[in-house]
């Protein structure tokens, strides 16, 4: 049966009627449709553009498809109806079209240097194997690969790039040659500069960004997914590392403390910014609303731009059309205007996924 929705449609900012026929949106009236929304503020479903439903709480790979489903449903019940899994040690392509789960854009496994990333999470390879590994992980995902741009180097006692600059550039080129986009995990100043200049498609975290790099990202259209929820954990990371690696600990705290201004500068420069939580491992699922609030309160993004970064712009970026003619039938409804008080995104009053009312 077709569904009828009426409310203030964002970003149009006007009362509209739309109909959901199966998994598609139309603005042409459908006789006999069931009205499931009458009033409120209607947005395309939210997006978490950086999370991991293949990593369990604590950092181990998940053990089953059911575990992935449980994590995805936690996000879904918070209004997140599209997910980019930015690296999974557990393959789950069979979940791509599962009707009660968010839409999935997936990378394969993280690609990392030997013994310099989280145990059992990434494929760890030397420089000579990077290009071939990127090609293999491009086939394992459905449009993305995930590169580990830096991690602690225990000999140096601080963050350091994963490989030499030529190898990291080749990794990005190999992703594009395979027809996918490349996302890079990076905290440090050196690695993020290498990867932005190499043409990476999205910078994950990006705490080491400089003003010059931010301007280059804006010109190139390179996206930033700040994961501010995750960056708040740097204090705990520094505390655990301080006894053995005091320089690294101080560096992590400095990166954390300057980060809101980094994100603010990126926003003001016109860098595309998207909401992502880094859920999985050390971050709980279902925190997209908290990330949205941090982007507004700490980085100074307007409420409308935060909503776009979590909804219609993010969906377009990932290839999941929003509430346009022929678009996908995913929407969230809020009883009050989230532009006036962003806190309302914590509690959607209606969630419709793939044309089916979830609540």
Is the same domain home to 236 and 340?
no
pLDDT at 92: 94
3-state secondary structure of 282: coil
Residue 328 has pLDDT above 90, yes or no: yes
Is the same domain home to 108 and 39?
no
- Output the domain CATH number for residue 299: 3.20.20.140
Percent above pLDDT 70 for the chain: 100
Tokens of 351: 């969630």
DSSP string, 168-225: HHHHHHHHHHTT-EEEEEE-SHHHHHHHHHHT-SEEEE-TT--HHHHHHHHHHT-EEE
C-alpha angle 198-202-208 in degrees, rounded to nearest 5 = 75
Mean pLDDT over 171-185 rounds to 98
Q: Residue 1: which pLDDT band, with cuts at 50, 70 and 90?
A: confident
Is the same domain home to 165 and 111?
yes
Is the same domain home to 50 and 39?
no
Structural domain range at position 62: 46-318
Is the same domain home to 231 and 295?
yes
Is the same domain home to 247 and 139?
yes
3-state secondary structure of 309: helix
Write the CB contacts of 301 (distance below 8 Å, at least 6 apart in sequence).
Answer: 263, 267, 273, 295, 309
303: closest CA among 255, 343, 356, 261?
Answer: 343
Summarised one tens digit per residue, pLDDT across range 145-174 is: 999 999 999 999 999 999 999 999 999 999
**181 - beta bridge partners?**
144
Is the same domain home to 153 and 14?
no
**pTM for this prediction:** 0.97
Summarised one tens digit per residue, pLDDT across range 74-88 is: 999 999 999 999 999
Mean pLDDT of the chain, nearest integer: 97
Total number of domains in the chain: 2
Q: Is there a contact between 317 and 18 (Cβ–Cβ < 8 Å)?
A: no
- Output the domain CATH number for residue 326: 2.30.40.10
pLDDT at 278: 98
Summarised one tens digit per residue, pLDDT across range 15-44 is: 999 999 999 999 999 999 999 999 999 999
Is the same domain home to 279 and 190?
yes
Is the same domain home to 327 and 277?
no
Is the same domain home to 330 and 266?
no
Is the same domain home to 54 and 129?
yes
Summarised one tens digit per residue, pLDDT across range 188-239 is: 999 999 999 999 999 999 999 999 999 999 999 999 999 999 999 999 999 9
Is the same domain home to 215 and 274?
yes
Burial annotation 190-213 (CB, 10 A radius, 16+ → b, else e): ebbbbbbebebbbbbbbbbbeeeb
44: closest CA among 73, 97, 80, 88?
Answer: 80
């Amino acid at each position: 049966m077709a569904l009828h929705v009426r409310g203030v449609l964002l970003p149009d900012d006007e009362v509209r009627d739309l109909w959901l026929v199966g998994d598609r949106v139309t603005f042409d009236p459908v006789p006999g449709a069931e009205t499931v929304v009458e009033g409120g503020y209607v947005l395309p479903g939210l997006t978490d553009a950086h999370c991991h439903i293949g990593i369990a709480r604590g950092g181990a790979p998940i053990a089953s498809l059911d575990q992935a489903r449980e994590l995805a449903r936690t996000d879904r019940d918070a209004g997140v109806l599209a997910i980019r899994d930015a690296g999974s040690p557990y393959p789950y392509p069979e979940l791509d079209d599962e009707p009660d789960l968010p839409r999935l854009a997936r990378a394969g496994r993280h690609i990392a240097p030997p013994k310099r990333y989280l145990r059992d999470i990434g494929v760890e390879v030397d420089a000579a194997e990077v290009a071939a590994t990127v090609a293999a992980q491009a086939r394992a995902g459905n449009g993305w690969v995930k590169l580990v741009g830096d991690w602690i180097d225990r000999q140096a006692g601080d963050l350091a790039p994963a490989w030499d600059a030529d190898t990291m550039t080749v990794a990005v080129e190999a992703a594009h040659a395979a027809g996918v986009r490349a996302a890079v995990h990076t905290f440090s100043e050196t690695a993020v500069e290498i990867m932005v200049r190499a043409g990476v498609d999205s910078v994950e975290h990006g705490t080491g960004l400089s003003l010059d790099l931010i301007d280059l990202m804006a010109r190139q259209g390179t996206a930033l997914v700040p994961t501010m929820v995750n960056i708040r954990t740097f204090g705990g990371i520094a505390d655990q590392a301080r006894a053995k690696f005091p320089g690294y600990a101080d560096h992590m705290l400095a990166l954390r403390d300057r980060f809101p201004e980094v994100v603010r500068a990126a926003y003001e420069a016109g860098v595309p910014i998207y909401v992502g939580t880094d859920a999985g491992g050390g971050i709980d699922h279902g925190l997209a609303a908290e990330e949205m609030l941090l982007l507004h309160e700490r980085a100074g993004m307007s409420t409308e731009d935060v909503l776009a970064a979590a909804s219609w712009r993010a969906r377009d970026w990932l290839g999941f059309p929003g509430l346009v003619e022929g678009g996908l039938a995913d929407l969230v409804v809020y009883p009050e205007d989230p532009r006036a008080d962003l806190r309302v995104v914590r509690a959607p009053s209606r969630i419709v996924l793939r044309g089916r009312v979830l609540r």
